[in-house]
Structure 1
């Protein structure tokens, strides 16, 4: 590996580290749901608001991300984002009310544009033969961040249950969720300092007529001959775009015109399908999801840790193969596998029953003194909704929230192995396909003249869907039940599979400018599915 390649990898790793902070921020909240809902007496929609607040915040940030990236540069945008992560983490730890916690997490959501900006930056510095691997490193960092969060949550939970003086003195047993959210502060500060070590995007420099600087940066990443060729291509693309000087609204119109119709339809489908299949419901509510299988709280936290490890392994596999096998096979076969896995979860939950035996009720009453549970003795429920509604009417919402994990563990009769296999299969398929490949495609299929608008816009679309999935998951769990939720996710995956199977091209080993020409030549072949 020569110095230029090493420098490309270094810059890509630094920028992609924002994905680690994102994953950490997103998954740490999963371990706090039970504690926060009890401390602040939250309803289902309020729980959804806490978890989804970053997803709501990013909607506003993405509206101006394109302007900031084009006006001040990709690197400056990343520096602002890193500061917002730090501010959010500190404020979340110190939150003393539901409203303050939601506000702090909303600020963190303003930083979630780190994913789209990172994809933009890496796509603009990476040689074509390495672009797939380097952009996909964002997803590797996301899943490593997720895994680190699940591991930290699990360890903090275990430590908080120790009967030791130092645990009490540190507040680990009384402020467990604050310790979980505080994990983010140190890596966020580290990322801020690392970002000062990377250069500006050469494409942004050319767009701002700083040709000498752009040439100097390109020589850091490419051989002299390759750098000169790349600079010429960039100048040609920028000059072509300048002739048509597009405003933001004009860029949006251009994206949906005949010339860019195929790229827009791919971006639209990928942005929706990546999120509507429920990845963030499973990842951000992982312990809650596994409690529905009847595993109990500690085991649910441990399964969440396994989810993180599966995510890492299959994302690494995708990164190693994305430039060898190509983008299309990973997306098509991965989405098919993920959809089948979601149907398995739906079927298993649809066959579940819920029953509390006299022995179980007597044991629980002895432990917690909730004598009203005797009213439910030997009553079999065919759905989780019926069972939970009866529990809430018998023992009240507050006690139900406090003991839901234990009660579900005692009462649930379900094919747990099928559900666990289905969930893990979906997680593996997602991180092997549409998870990392979406960002690779976003960095490739849009021409430079509109990329600053296009990537944030389709990232905004994905974020809107993600926000809705996160916000309403607790409500859906209470009103639709686990079986119907997974059925909805599976149908969404099937629809996405059909559309992408028909329209998605292969883009590996092509320059951004070559991909632009290919998509333009295919404009007459595009039909709306």
Structure 2
């Protein structure tokens, strides 16, 4: 491998590792849901807030991420983000109360802007023919972080349930959720240190008059004979774009007539990506799998399959994004997502729930289990009806705490079909709209507004993500799992129709060529 190619891959790998920290931070909370709910006596809305608080934090961060990238540079902004991850991980691990946990996870949400800043940086240092692969490395690191979170959660839970002496010595059994959250500290520190070894973005350097340093950076990632040509293209592009780089001016340009198609594409995919409900599945994975009736331990094991599926299909998408192109992966991937969610809807919709008298007598862990006698032998046609009956007889707290084991005893459900549907959905998302959205974001915006445009549209997708995460427990309690998934499928279908009309192919094109193609459309 040539030195310039090796440098480009090295810099992209370091920056993309922030995706691993993001994925770990985002998914590790899934294993703590049951424990923090019991420790702090949370209702569904409070649980949604603690899980979704990072997504609330990122909304605030994205208002400043673009300005910070333009003022301090992409590299310095990434360092600040990495530092926030470290502080958040330490704070969440030792949180003494519910609100301190919410606050420290909110602080970590300020660092979630790392995904948009990483896409921006990698898009600016990656040669066109490698851009799709290099930008998608962030998504690969995200799913590796997700997988690591599920595996770590399962490992910690397994050790906590063992009788090993060291488990009690370390307080693992009593502090399961704290050990889970603490697993983020080491990778967050490692990423912060690694960021000191990457150069500043050549586009930012050129915009700020640091021409010699910009040329030196370009010489590290392009062959010598191409550096002059690339530099001249960047200068020409920047000189032809607006010189007013204020926040208001850049936002006006985003909504200008010449940007109309870009606005439609970016807005639609930003909403559609999170409207799939991906973060409901990823951030509440054990909770979702408990609805299949396998119990808590099985749910944690099945969550690992989610992580492994994510990794395999993200890598497959990375291999194909520069071969098949962006448009086919997006269009066919979204169709695949709709079909997968439809399978899950059918599986949950046909489930039935019945607690027999024998099953009730076997529930020795439930205090005053005879409270369930009135519903013995009664068949319920939905999870909502069954959970309502449990709450009426056990009370809200006991019904919530024993929900997993009660569903396990009562559910008559096609768990294999639903598991296949969920894993198919995970595969479709990570093969298509998951990574490819960030590739498109790194390509479709002019250099003059990239510092604002990418965080702006990331803000849109983050708002949708926050709504999904915060309200999923409430949807689960009021709509039921089947109609919640159907709702996601319908919103994705609307996005698919719009993108089929407007999305153009951008593979193997420079950012300048992409602008001409989009503006001509």
Q: TM-score of the superposition, structure 2-length normalised?
A: 0.99
Question: 2: CA distance between counterparts of 1:398 and 1:96?
Answer: 22
Q: Is the 8 A contact 2:62 2:113 kept in 1?
A: yes
1:506 matches 2:496: no
Contact 2:322 2:507 in 1 (8 A): yes
Measure, in 1, the Cα distance between the counterparts of 2:57 and 2:501: 34
> What residue in structure 2 maps to residue 440 of structure 1?
439
Q: CA deviation at 1:246?
A: 3.5
Cα distance in structure 2, aligned partners of 1:505 and 1:366: 58
Provide structure 2 residue ranges, at least 5 long, that are not aligned to the other structure: none
CA distance, structure 1, for counterparts of residue 160 and residue 365 of structure 2: 24
Distance apart, 1:507 and its partner CA: 0.3
SS in 2 for 1:290: helix
- Give the match's secondary structure for 2:53: helix
1:147 aligned residue: 147
Q: How big is the shift at 1:303?
A: 0.6
Provide, for residues 429-448 of structure 1, a one-character-per-residue CA deviation record: whole Å limited to 9, x for no partner. Answer: 00000000000000000000
Partner residue in 2 for 1:21: 21
| Gap change, CA 1:203 and 1:379, over 3 Å in 2 | same
Question: Could you tell me whether the CA contact under 8 Å between 1:348 and 1:415 is conserved in 2?
Answer: yes
Partner residue of 1:126? 126
Matches within 5 A, 1:259-298: 259-298=258-297
Q: Distance in 2 between matches of 1:240 and 1:485?
A: 48
Query: Does the CA contact (< 8 Å) of 1:205 and 1:213 recur in 2?
Result: yes
Q: Deviations over 1:18-62 (max 9, x none)?
A: 000000000000000000000000010000001000000000000
Map 1:297-376 → 2, pairs under 5 A: 297-365=296-364, 368-376=367-375
- What secondary structure sits across from 2:402 in the alignment? helix
8 Å CA contact 1:34, 1:401 repeated in 2? no
Q: CA deviation at 1:366?
A: 6.5
**8 Å CA contact 2:294, 2:408 repeated in 1:** yes
Alignment gaps of 5+ in structure 1 = 523-529
Determine helix, strand or coil for the equivalent of 1:354: strand
Partner of 1:254: 253
d(CA) in 2 for partners of 1:356, 1:274:
39
Please say if residues 360 and 369 of structure 2, whose CA atoms lie closer than 8 Å, have aligned partners that are also in contact: no
- In the alignment, the residues of structure 2 paired with residue 367 and residue 64 of structure 1 have an alpha-carbon distance, to the nearest angstrom, of 50
In 2, are the aligned partners of 1:57 and 1:109 still within 8 Å (CA)?
yes
CA positional deviation for 1:244: 3.8
C-alpha deviation, 1:248, in angstroms: 1.3
Cα RMSD of the aligned pairs, angstroms, is: 0.9
1:486 corresponds to: 485
The residue correspondences of 1:61-460 to structure 2 (distance < 5 A) are: 61-241=61-241, 243-365=242-364, 368-460=367-459
- CA deviation string 1:259-305 (max 9, x = no partner): 01111111101100000110000000000001111111000011111
What residue in structure 2 maps to residue 474 of structure 1? 473
Cα separation, 2, equivalents of 1:365 and 1:119: 53
**Contact preservation (8 Å) 2:124, 2:201:** yes
* Cα distance in 2 for residues equivalent to 1:255 and 1:449: 10
Q: Give the distance between the partners of 1:257 and 1:199, measured in 2 at CA.
A: 33
Q: Which string of whole-angstrom CA distances, capped at 9 and with x for unpartnered residues, describes residues 355-378 of structure 1? A: 001110000046654221112210
CA contact (8 A) 1:38 1:401 kept: no
Whether the 8 Å CA contact 1:19–1:138 is kept in 2: the answer is yes
2:361/2:369 contact within 8 Å kept: no
Residue 400 of structure 1: CA displacement?
2.1
Name the structure 2 match of 1:57: 57
Alignment length, in residue pairs?
521
Cα distance between partner residues in 2 of 1:391 and 1:261:
52
Instruction: Tell me if structure 2 keeps the 8 A contact 1:354–1:382.
Output: yes
Once the two structures are TM-superposed, the CA of residue 235 in structure 1 deviates from its matched residue by: 1.0
Is the 8 Å Cα contact of residues 81 and 111 (structure 1) preserved in structure 2? Answer: yes
Distance 2:375 2:161 in 1: 30
Rounded to whole Å, the distance in 1 between the matches of 2:346 and 2:162 is 39
Distance 1:174 1:370 in 2: 26
Contact (CA 8 Å) 1:37, 1:401: kept in 2 or not?
Answer: no
Structure 1 window deviating more from structure 2 (398-407 vs 69-78): it is 398-407
Greater CA drift, 30-39 or 385-394: 385-394
Q: CA deviation at 1:345?
A: 0.8
Single out whichever of 409-418 and 200-209 deviates more from structure 2. 409-418
Per-residue deviation, residues 190-225 of structure 1 (Å, max 9, x unmatched)? 000000000000000000010000000000000112
Q: Hey, what's the Cα distance between the residues in 2 that align with 1:167 and 1:366?
A: 23
Write the deviation string for residues 482-524 of structure 1: whole angstroms up to 9, x where unpaired. 11101101111111111111111000000111111111111xx
Distance in 2 between residues matched to 1:164 and 1:17, nearest whole Å = 34
Q: Distance in 2 between matches of 1:175 and 1:493?
A: 39
Q: What is the match of residue 465 of structure 1? A: 464
SS state at 1:323 partner:
coil
Q: Take 2:46 and 2:365, find their aligned partners in 1: how far apart are those partners?
A: 32
- Tell me if structure 1 keeps the 8 A contact 2:38–2:401: yes
CA distance in 2, matches of 1:162, 1:238: 62
Q: Who is 1:525 aligned against?
A: none
